Amino acid sequence: MAARSGPKAVEVRDAVGNLLADGDSVSLIKDLKVKGAGQTLKRGTVIRSIRLTGDEQEIDCRYDGIKGLVLRAEFVRKL
């Protein structure tokens, strides 16, 4: 019997190569200006409970006062 081929799970890796998963906490590795919020997230800011989007470079997350925040994996480090 042939093996079923389902959609391949996307591996999302942070700036240093650690594998990320839903619910992980990450820290920013550089200051980021948030478009539309008029705010800058500083290096070292901790983002808790991330969600993977299916894109290998995008992470969906929440932060106080910012709705719909999407970060690129190259700017975060897993805690």
Cβ distance 7 to 67 under 8 Å?
Answer: no
Euclidean distance between CA atoms 53 and 41, whole angstroms: 21
Residue-wise pLDDT for 28-56, tens only, equals: 999 999 988 888 999 999 999 999 998 99
Which CATH superfamily, name and number, covers 22-78? SH3 Domains (2.30.30.40)
Torsion of CA 56, 34, 62, 79, to 10 degrees: 60
Non-local CB neighbours of 72 within 8 Å, separated by 6+ positions: 57, 58, 59
Domain ranges of the chain: 22-78
CA pair distance 27, 29, nearest whole angstrom: 6
pTM, full prediction: 0.81
Percent of the chain past pLDDT 90, that is, above it, reads 66
